[in-house]
Structure 1
């Protein structure tokens, strides 16, 4: 087994890091304070060809796998921009996957090139306020009419909807109580975010202020038949194509954020002199940082394993979920230790670690909670009775 990155992977890593070095702490601090989408960063990644890394080459993408996307996003996350940097481009790597797998040639030609070139942005409308992780209980409904559908409903925690031109929208087309299985009767659309029919209300939140999160209110939105992805009623199964890649990418992004914070903490511990010696010379400072390094490295390897399994077409549900679980915890513990290492200055914005700590907490919550991950592993791997 070879645990080293290939020459291609190292080239990806170095190219992306070349872009991250152009956007320093001051840039991300201003974006956070102004709650402003990092458009310059987004366009720089588009110009580098990174927004289409997993998409087909015939539409302008690089046609690479989830492993390559993971290497790329690890370089992004560890480059100082934290969740603001990764969240601004994250959806391009997993969100359009149902289009790639199930879209017609006309749909792919219409939708993918603008995304890859950075001319259009998309958001993901799945979660609802009264359903949460119980996706089968969504109530946003698409009623069939001549030439398309009329949609009414509400979505929650829709990232980048303030910026988006398009929305990947999961709806019900058959009420849950009329379906044989709870997962039946849901339909997936990719359509214009028509703001005359859709209200997007920004949610004030704890961190990642540069990339908006929103409550979305849909009132009589018409979606043409041409914007339906795949068959009516099979949308839930189509979403499954993107769930494992999303978990892998969130996991490795969490690792990158934790490693960035850890490096900042180690630098401070080497340079901060108290009682005539660097604080990093004290084992009470050094040992917790070393332990955080070990946890991050272990999580990183699980992310790479899950990505490799996915690209090989092998089952990877347990590994992808475990990668997200381990990475989120390792990241939060590393960023918290980084704040503690800085002492009082860790609470100041100047050293960035407080921002990274706030952002790392998100990776423990989204896109799936730790409790749901553990329930999945208990049932699917250990053979224990289903608990929900």
Structure 2
């Protein structure tokens, strides 16, 4: 034992130093001290000397710059520059456009939770809350989604007028330009509430407050452009759209074929320098009604009117609708969610340089402008829409499952339905936390490139799961369309959010980890910048610092992953109370694992990693679930750690960890370098996978929350439009729940007495007469049961129509016109 002792001391102290991320010099000092103690307390002197020599062989070359730089760093620097994949200009801009927030801590392997908790609690301003309680509530009460989606295929004129008059299109426009000047959080809450009543209304309001002329002008517009256009956009005199997506390049702005040639032309009676545009865009929301078109195109200057550069690059312009040559195509029909959408085309359309967003100074900078603003827009509109939809679905489905009975029992009491209810509740809890977290990041002034993709992808995917489960529970109530149906259109619209603003397959496979691996990593971007530094001497010193920081970082993550895996993350410092501390420890574990996996993947695959989309997607899932779980825990703390919410938090957290381990397992089992995958598995899962999906017992608790009045249920629905009304059947059904619960004991007493009576009373009224006559129930209880019957009928009833009522005259006219064209 005395022979092995010095080596065990080196191993243990090295492991402790790596776990705590100790720098090299202190680690060497501590290790040397340990060897001295071995010498003094009876360990083999020969073994101690050998251990000391090994320590010196490692430490001296690394601690002495005169040795390290020429003999270690310089050769590695040369090798790195040779294998480093070239960074294109578009990739460079994308990496430099965003900011790094909490996701950087998660990618660092040892998150500092104080950074998360230091973020202020998301709070609305007084004017934002007043707008929600006033104009937003009023607009929601005006909405008849059946008329919008089936009768008019558009918002009614009074809705358009109300939206413009109350500056819904100008929520993000600063007050000095006549807008509302809302924060991103205020914007989020408005879209969330509107989405709970109509996805058509929420998208109509959301798009002008997302990526488009207003946001781009606010960030990059000239003084003249801001002074003229922003007031008009704020009050609805101008309705904006933005043309990015085209038939040949989708939303890939770097490959768009739309082009503009710098030339001379006529504008408002004057001969000026401008751009002659040819473009073909499709899927452009609000295009059919837009008066101002934002456009992305590639700008060329073949005659060198502006300078020596011919290919100026991606540029953004503003086109008034009445500009000569602009063609607004016919409307598209997005899955019975008829928000205004259609193509925009143009050939030889001339605009002056003053119509470029930002003027001539921003010609060629459109890609950077788009990347910066896309991260903001992607953080708000679609996550908020999913959040509003999940809130109303959780509330009304819980009420429906309590009211609707089969075999004398509320359908929500059946275990199969409980499973679906639990998924709805848990996913709604997750979506709302994630959507609020991404909006809060923007409100703090961040440009959350990576969190925005996480939020967009996972909110829309989970939103689709919520509406699927809600449809399953409602059964026929959900599939029969009509004024009483509040789910069918949401079900039809669910793929829209998954498709737009970057299709989810691309978002998951390329963007989340693809950007995060470089942007969020504490060392990789520094190494890349050092390798590209034109000053070779300075680049070498920068690389030296980053490289050995990276090596220590990698060793630390390997040690932390193994330790957490062996102990099940049951030990170690962690924030939170006694209930949540275990959750934070799990996140500490998987943060280290993510960092280890990312480093290994980048080291072994290099530039090929960007083509390993399945691996990238799975590692992106790991980062996503870490971020999502953090958002849930932060929201739980911000709300005062309510005990009533614990089943929701527990279900959502265990579900996230289960998904995370499945993705990790798939990544390891399919890792291209098999011996490395075996080693990684031993570090990551030394005792095997342990995370389990939420239990049936936990699912029962979550389902019970949705089916009974209570503070946790109230918080799930907070922010949705729940006011009962003739045009809002979901609000009516939700409002019935307290009365239904109160009537259930009377109903059970009535049914029990009726079952034991030998007399016959077949209809409900006769049964009530019999019950009152025999003293089974009182007159007041009779009225309570009659009210229960009325509420139940309203809850379960569906619509029916005469055949002629279902024939849309507008659709018939379209069919006739198409037939005429085909015949011609």
Could you state the TM-score of these two structures normalised by the residue count of structure 2?
0.44
Aligned pair partner of 1:189 in 314, 317, 325:
317
Look up the match of 1:305.
Answer: 437
Report the Cα offset of residue 357 of structure 1: 0.9
Could you tell me which runs of 5 or more consecutive residues in structure 1 were left unpaired when the two chains were aligned. 176-182
SS of alignment partner, residue 344 of structure 2? strand
Q: Does 1:134 align with 2:252?
A: yes
Look up the match of 1:32.
Answer: 149
Aligned pair partner of 1:240 in 351, 355, 371:
371
SS of alignment partner, residue 302 of structure 1? helix
Report the Cα offset of residue 323 of structure 1: 0.9
Q: Does 1:379 align with 2:603?
A: no
Look up the match of 1:171.
Answer: 297
User: In terms of Rg, which structure is larger?
Assistant: 2
Which has the larger share of helix? 2
Look up the match of 1:346.
Answer: 478
Look up the match of 2:702.
Answer: none
CA spacing shift, 1:98–1:17, aligned 2, 3 Å: closer
CA spacing shift, 1:59–1:273, aligned 2, 3 Å: same
Measured against aligned partners, the alpha-carbon deviations of 1:319-351 in whole angstroms (never above 9, x if no partner) come to 111111111012111111111111122111131
Report the Cα offset of residue 12 of structure 1: 4.4
Separation in 2, partners of 1:307, 1:184: 34
CA spacing shift, 1:287–1:164, aligned 2, 3 Å: same
5 Å matches for 1:88-237? 88-94=204-210, 95=212, 96-146=214-264, 147=272, 148-174=274-300, 185-194=313-322, 197-199=325-327, 200-209=329-338, 211-230=339-358, 231-237=362-368
Look up the match of 1:69.
Answer: 187
Separation in 2, partners of 1:102, 1:307: 21
Which has the higher mean CA deviation after the structures are superposed, 318-327 or 236-245? 236-245
CA contact (8 A) 1:77 1:85 kept: yes
CA contact (8 A) 1:156 1:214 kept: yes
Separation in 2, partners of 1:196, 1:275: 68
Separation in 1, partners of 2:449, 2:334: 30
Separation in 2, partners of 1:339, 1:184: 51
CA contact (8 A) 1:184 1:236 kept: no
Report the Cα offset of residue 67 of structure 1: 1.9
Report the Cα offset of residue 91 of structure 1: 2.3
Which has the larger share of strand? 1
Which has the higher mean CA deviation after the structures are superposed, 8-17 or 264-273? 8-17
5 Å matches for 1:39-78? 39-78=157-196
Report the Cα offset of residue 184 of structure 1: 6.3
Report the Cα offset of residue 278 of structure 1: 2.1
Which has the higher mean CA deviation after the structures are superposed, 157-166 or 246-255? 246-255
Separation in 2, partners of 1:162, 1:314: 33
CA spacing shift, 1:16–1:325, aligned 2, 3 Å: farther
Q: Does 1:87 align with 2:203?
A: yes
SS of alignment partner, residue 145 of structure 1? strand
Look up the match of 1:275.
Answer: 407
SS of alignment partner, residue 185 of structure 1? strand
Report the Cα offset of residue 171 of structure 1: 0.8
SS of alignment partner, residue 287 of structure 2? coil
Look up the match of 2:605.
Answer: none
CA contact (8 A) 1:255 1:330 kept: no
CA spacing shift, 1:205–1:307, aligned 2, 3 Å: closer
SS of alignment partner, residue 172 of structure 1? strand
Report the Cα offset of residue 102 of structure 1: 1.2
SS of alignment partner, residue 284 of structure 2? coil
Separation in 2, partners of 1:192, 1:315: 29
Aligned pair partner of 2:132 in 3, 8, 13:
13
Report the Cα offset of residue 100 of structure 1: 0.6
Separation in 1, partners of 2:467, 2:292: 34
**RMSD value, Cα:** 2.3
Separation in 1, partners of 2:241, 2:515: 31
Q: Does 1:332 align with 2:464?
A: yes
Report the Cα offset of residue 267 of structure 1: 2.8
CA contact (8 A) 1:201 1:216 kept: no
Separation in 2, partners of 1:75, 1:40: 19
Report the Cα offset of residue 7 of structure 1: 6.0
CA contact (8 A) 1:16 1:72 kept: no
Look up the match of 1:370.
Answer: 504
Report the Cα offset of residue 4 of structure 1: 6.3
CA spacing shift, 1:40–1:194, aligned 2, 3 Å: same
Separation in 1, partners of 2:474, 2:388: 19
Report the Cα offset of residue 10 of structure 1: 4.2
Look up the match of 1:180.
Answer: none
CA contact (8 A) 2:278 2:346 kept: yes
CA contact (8 A) 2:139 2:162 kept: no
Measured against aligned partners, the alpha-carbon deviations of 1:221-276 in whole angstroms (never above 9, x if no partner) come to 22222211122111121122321121112112112123223333223222222222
Separation in 2, partners of 1:203, 1:297: 34
CA contact (8 A) 1:126 1:169 kept: yes
Look up the match of 2:692.
Answer: none
Which has the higher mean CA deviation after the structures are superposed, 2-11 or 200-209? 2-11
Separation in 1, partners of 2:183, 2:506: 26
Which has the higher mean CA deviation after the structures are superposed, 278-287 or 243-252? 278-287
CA spacing shift, 1:188–1:6, aligned 2, 3 Å: closer
Look up the match of 1:319.
Answer: 451
Separation in 1, partners of 2:367, 2:402: 51
CA spacing shift, 1:7–1:198, aligned 2, 3 Å: closer
Report the Cα offset of residue 192 of structure 1: 0.5
Separation in 2, partners of 1:222, 1:138: 19
Q: Give the paired residue count.
A: 376
Separation in 2, partners of 1:205, 1:225: 35
SS of alignment partner, residue 279 of structure 2? strand
CA spacing shift, 1:153–1:43, aligned 2, 3 Å: same
SS of alignment partner, residue 173 of structure 1? strand
